[in-house]
Structure 1
Amino acid sequence: MKVLKKIVPALAVFLTALSSSAQIKDTLNAPKPVLPGVFADPHIAAFGDTFYLYPTTDGTEGWMSTYFTCWSSKNLVDWKNEGTILDLPKDLTWAKERAWAPAIAEKNGKYYYYFSADVNIGVAVADKPTGPFKDALGKPLVPKGALKGQMIDPMAFVDDDGSAYLYWGQGNCNIVKLNDDMVSYDPAKIISIKPKGYNEGSFVFKRNGKYYLMWSEFDTRDPRYSVAYATADSPMGPFTKAELNPVLKGRGVVKGAGHHSVVKVPGKDEWYIAYHRFKIPGGNGYNRETSISPMRFDKKGNILPVDVFETPKNVKVKIVKAFNK
């Protein structure tokens, strides 16, 4: 009887471990996308106690979308459609289609929305993360043909000292420091780099004093589409590509995992990566869906490979109010 009592718990532990192992190795049943329908190039951000997603509206060959939407969540699991926040035909005079790959940044109580429109980069501004956003310039912030490659996929990073930087480009990664108004810069100070494997979709964040530049490799229509990264001591580089790459790629039924963004849970060293994948089933480079997975680091600050079959578990932001004594 004593032997049996010892065997039963051990057997239970073994079966649990075996079950967990089977779940990890199951590449035929991917988790559901976080947004209903087809959305790509998701930019994720946290403002206050709320998370926001700003994606490309997908589903047309040639990526001919004409508008952008915003989605909000209190837990990274349940998402609310906040509606259309920028409609190119209605809100712009200089572009009507190809609404792609937006990004958002907050500074001085305003929200600046950077976006691709007909292979130009524009910027709109609002008083709230959910808009409505208004074209800030009445013309592109970065016009097509300004540099080599396509003028698409903007990303704005605001450093701890309030300095802001713009990253963009397909074919090359272009970097420039924005002026304090967030809608202008000195063209003479643009630098262009091309890390090995770089194609598009740059994203920058800072952790423990280190700057991480991430990007997508291959083409979004390619099942091998994936995400790699490099690090630097300055937001403008020079960046050194990490040895362990890519850190995000498809597996099993998950194809074309890329064009990502990263969010830190306010007040915690807890990180999540939003990205798109081919729609499951039957997706392709024009029919993509949005996913979110945890993103972790080792003790040296290296990004660990992301498990595209792992999803957030009811993540909430706790706002700590300061009281005067």
Structure 2
Amino acid sequence: MGRNASDTTWNRYPSITALRTLDAISKLGNMQAASDAMNVTPSAVSHQLRNLEEMLNIKLVRRAGRRTELTSAGNRYLNQVRKALELIEAASHPMDEEPNGKLRINCPSGFGNYWLVPELREFTELYPNVTVDVTSNLAQLETVVKHADISILYGDGSWPSLTVRHLSTPRTFPVCSPKLIERLGNVQKPEDLEKFPLLHHVNSSDWVVWMASRTREIIEVERGTTFSDMTHVVSAAIAGNGVAISDSLLAKQALEEGKLVRLFDTEVQAQNSYYLVVEKERMERKITRIAMDWLIHHFDEYGTS
């Protein structure tokens, strides 16, 4: 059955023209310039804005001398709807411009194994003419970025000569296999972990930070097994070899499948973040920009940014 014109839910969707009008004013700074850019009259621009403000029941723009600028509420609203406008624009490209060629992605093996691989099927179905090449190169930054269209790096984001986009700052917590709990007993408090072997990625810093957030007791964490690869840490935890510090991104699938369990509600923001890192010259490739947008959209939707 079709929607009735008086359906209030239907009527709360703003028109694309109104959203484009708001975006034009934000970029150009006055009504006349916005009307020229959209090839409509200034009165039409005013009408679109008035209807949008009435629908939202908020003031979106204000006069500032000869300029028209967005209010703080207008800026917040546009920041949200601009993502939708970008998606609509991307989806409206002519089909004869379908991307093709090779896309080289370099990422940490843990990220690739536990996040990228499960999600990559959607990208390859959307862009069947693109050949994807995924590597986990641990060489120097210059070498990694030079040989990849897109690199996903874990760090502080300070790479000034490159195009950098933030993806996610993980929140970490202890996980282990249910088999380990069956063998060594339940964990009620951090002190109980003294009877459990611990698993580390590179060093014990993640354990030190998490313990400090949870208890004032001094608990020895410089013990157990250390791995240079996060994939090995998660695999060791699943195998019941010990308790690891992980996060909802890397441990998501294993938690959902019951292969791992989370031991405490306490979580700590990781000291570093995941970033998209691209050589500025590679931004000229259409497939690079599309893949970046796809990744950023997925992380916005995933709620881990």
Shorter chain as denominator, the TM-score bin is under 0.3
Greater relative contact order (Cα 8 A, min sep 6): structure 1 or 2?
A: 2
Q: Which has the higher strand share?
A: 1
Q: Give 1 or 2 for the bigger CA radius of gyration.
A: 2
Q: Which has the higher helix share?
A: 2
